[in-house]
Amino acid sequence: MADDFLIEAWQQRVNDLISDQATLNAHLVRARADGDHKTAADAIEGLNEVDVRLQRLQQQRARYETQIAQQPAANKFGLTPDEQDAARVTGVSEEQYASGKVELMRRKAAGFYPDGQH
């Protein structure tokens, strides 16, 4: 669905957790073979924690993808339809408008504009 940095980051975390699951399963098998109840209990607890974290990640991803699907599509300059209209009405190109938007965000981040001023 949404192909972006956050989806890739979530997928990397899911892959890490799946790797953790495999390691914990191996610990559980080894503990069972050794009759080590403490290590087995720790592995079971770890598996439960990983399961919960995987479920939460899947829920977050689903919410994020729903939000992305509901947002208006941006053009090649990252402008929403409203921003494209604003560029047209003001007589500047979409590229110029996008450049100005980036500059405004940079200046706000640098503290040039107190809250509420732009």
Contact 98, 79 (CB under 8 A): yes
Per-residue pLDDT of the chain (118 residues; tens, 9 = 90+): 445 788 888 999 999 999 999 999 999 999 999 999 999 999 999 999 999 999 999 998 898 888 777 766 667 778 888 888 999 999 999 999 999 988 888 888 888 887 666 5
- Predicted confidence at residue 31, as pLDDT, reads 97
Residue whose entry in the numeric block shows the structure tokens 């919410």: 63
Q: SS3 for 105?
A: helix
- Predicted confidence at residue 117, as pLDDT, reads 60
